[in-house]
Amino acid sequence: MGASDTHSTDESAPETVRRYRRVLVLVAVALAPWTAVSANGFVSWFLPIGIVNLDPLELTTIFEYYLLYTRNLPPYLNAWGLSVVVFFVGLVSALVGLVWREDARVTASMFVLAGIGQLVFALGFFRRGQGYAAVPIGTLLLWGVVWRYYRRDLASIFQFPDGTE
């Protein structure tokens, strides 16, 4: 093993560490509440796995919600489920990057789109009028991850091969 071999392994180790760190952050985002909704004084937390109501304490999984309770719901509520699906596509892309090749532009785009979906979801509650409020925590988390880990990859989408924008 020559000096150049040692040098190349030192360079690849930090990239591996960065990839694992990025995936751990994404897992934390998957466990965090994405939207806090206050409806007439009652707070519900919308997470990627489902809805947590605090009074009384209960969890309605995302599958129960969409398979059992979706009759006559406003269309903006579908943005929550769609953004969860898009997020998990991005998460799978990042996980694949741990063992194979990741196209970080695709991963970043999925997180941006998931953040937009959460924003649409939250804004739908504001349109309902007085007594409703929503905070799109997931939008901030997802866009923060993109800014921290994927901004160069996302910016490369808007650059042409000749270097112009």
Q: Is residue 67 part of a domain?
A: no
Q: Is residue 3 part of a domain?
A: no
Q: How many CA atoms lie within 13 A of 14 on its CB side?
A: 4
More confident residue, 36 or 3: 36
For 106, the domain range is 19-41+74-155
Q: What percent of the chain has pLDDT over 90?
A: 57
Number of compact structural domains in the chain: 1
Q: Is residue 49 part of a domain?
A: no
pLDDT tens, 59-96?
A: 999 999 888 877 777 888 889 999 999 999 999 999 99
Dist CA 145 CA 23 (whole Å): 10
pLDDT tier, 55 (very low <50, low <70, confident <90, very high otherwise):
confident
pLDDT tens, 116-140?
A: 999 999 999 988 888 899 999 999 9
pLDDT tier, 105 (very low <50, low <70, confident <90, very high otherwise):
very high
Q: Is residue 109 part of a domain?
A: yes
Q: Is residue 101 part of a domain?
A: yes
More confident residue, 156 or 136: 136
Q: Does the pLDDT at position 13 exceed 60?
A: no
Q: Does the pLDDT at position 1 exceed 80?
A: no
Phi, psi of 102 (to 5 degrees): -110, 135
Q: How many residues does the chain have?
A: 165
Phi, psi of 9 (to 5 degrees): -70, -35
pLDDT tier, 27 (very low <50, low <70, confident <90, very high otherwise):
very high
In the beta sheet, which residues pair with residue 37? 44, 134
Dist CA 59 CA 66 (whole Å): 14
Average pLDDT, the chain: 86
The pTM (predicted TM-score) of the whole model is: 0.82
Q: Is residue 160 part of a domain?
A: no
Q: Are 129 and 159 in contact (CB under 8 A)?
A: no
Query: Radius of gyration (Cα) for the chain, nearest Å?
Result: 19
